Structure 1
């Protein structure tokens, strides 16, 4: 048993960010996201919201500070400027992470293309539409 590890993270899911390198990406997908069609590694978090999953993962995962955007959401189809409430929730979580930055938006098929290249996909039980987030792993700085 370990302490300071979010209880939502299974041993297999803990292993994934540990294996990821700088610049690798992890997708947090909603219940409608085609996770198995996209990802080589898929972790299921049925019954867990995308925001709960993101909070647990961001507790451990440093975000990349060498890219313009280290987190991405999928644009609303037909209205690229729309902001479903979950976008603000994702941004609030990213704002508390290492190397916070504004979340970028990707057109639906560009999001899917990027997700296909991701290191892993976490399939959540999120039923809110557009509850998908891609996070880019950064590096842990040298100890002082």
Structure 2
């Protein structure tokens, strides 16, 4: 055990967060995302909701201050009427932990999949909300 590491952060996830460099991206994938087939490095966090993981990650992980939008959401497919209240939860967490007011860009579904394939790692979660996938770009520690 270590002091100050949120309990939700597994040793494997902590290792990946430490390995990542400035500009590397990590995907927090909902339960429907094809994480295993898209990941260069796959971290299993089955059963955990993304907001809890995001909160733990943001306690350790700086977002990139040198880009306009250091977080990306999967855009809702045109014509889909699903609501995305989880995005507001993410916004609140990022505002509280990173001090950013408008950190998100939205990325078309298939472009999001392509970007996820290039990410440093994908974290497979148990998140059941639709369109809950999130990409974070790592910043620097000054």
TM-score of the alignment, normalized to the shorter chain, above 0.5: yes
Of stretches 18-27 and 100-109 in structure 1, the one that deviates more from structure 2 is 100-109
Mapping of residues 15-34 of structure 1, within 5 Å: 15-34=15-34
Return closer, same or farther for 1:66/1:79 CA change in 2, 3 Å cut-off. farther
- 1:10-29: CA deviation from partner (whole Å, max 9, x where unpaired): 11110101000000000000
Give the deviation of 1:113 after TM superposition: 1.0
Q: CA RMSD in A?
A: 1.7
Q: How far did 1:79 drift?
A: 5.0
Measured after TM superposition, the shift of residue 51 of structure 1 is 1.0
Q: Deviations for 1:4-56, whole angstroms, at most 9, x for unmatched residues?
A: 11101111110101000000000000000111111111111111101111111
Runs (5+) with no aligned partner, structure 1: none
CA distance in 2, matches of 1:122, 1:115: 11
Q: Which runs of 4+ in 1 moved over 3 A?
A: none
Q: What TM-score comes out, normalization by structure 2 length?
A: 0.93
> Which position in structure 2 is the counterpart of 1:43?
43
Separation in 2 of the partners of 1:106 and 1:79? Answer: 16
Q: Deviations over 1:63-103 (max 9, x none)?
A: 000011100000111159x7510110111111123352521
Per the alignment, residue 116 of structure 2 pairs with 115
Normalised by the size of structure 1, how large is the TM-score? Answer: 0.92
CA distance in 1, matches of 2:117, 2:139: 19
